[in-house]
Structure 1
């Protein structure tokens, strides 16, 4: 099996606010929009980084929390500075993590933690956990 792309769909009652959050802060562009279901492209190259937002249909349960949406970025410090300047509160402080990333987190209007990070060298105690091919 070959997976060519992957996306996350968030069932939310705050579709318009969540969409505006990703468009304003992560340069997302809608590539499909039928009103109750929107596909946002996060990667301008079209390489498959998409986030889908959906208004609950029939008896669907809306998102209830507990999810991180991880975004590998070129420079977490630059993204962090831009989001702080925009007035977004951080729920995870920008810092180096021993497992090998430097990152921070914000919460989107639907309650998803958006974790932005870039890789750094892991601490020696985490090195054995990496699976190398």
Structure 2
């Protein structure tokens, strides 16, 4: 299976410090920012690589591995079926999310969450946080 793209999201309470670092050293620009979750495009262009930074939500502690790897596929339902047929046990069920994806997650042996997704239209309350880059 070949995902069409991937990005890394670091779970941290130091979003401001991380953002400042990547803006300063890598010309990053925010393409999504709802406060507790920020996506930075390195190089500041829509086609540039991206890194995400997310505060722990709902009292959760950061993931055991400290990072989430996001893998984008054209058909996440088929990926879910294939992985579960091979014995993977999702830690997050396959479902639509209001921020704009349909996805599920598994955890690798290192404790890193691997989130598999297909983009869908975001709910209205999340559309305001999306910023188009040139």
Structure 1 residue runs of 4 or more that deviate by more than 6 Å after TM superposition = none
Q: Which runs of 5+ in 2 are unaligned?
A: 1-5, 9-63
Cα distance per residue 1:9-52 (max 9 Å; x no partner): xxxxxxxxxxxxxxxxxxxxxxxxxxxxxxxxxxxxxxxxxxxx
TM-score (normalised: structure 2): 0.51
CA contact (8 A) 2:7 2:69 kept: no
Q: Counterpart in 2 of 1:45?
A: none
What is the CA RMSD across the aligned residues, in angstroms? 2.2
Q: Does 1:96 align with 2:58?
A: no
After TM superposition, give the deviation of residue 66 of structure 1 in Å.
2.2
Q: Counterpart in 1 of 2:122?
A: 122
Distance 1:111 1:102, change over 3 A: same
Equivalent residue runs for 1:1-133 within 5 Å: 65-133=65-133
Distance 1:7 1:124, change over 3 A: closer
TM-score (normalised: structure 1): 0.51
Q: Which runs of 5+ in 1 are unaligned?
A: 1-5, 9-63
CA distance in structure 2 between the partners assigned to 1:91 and 1:103 by the alignment: 11
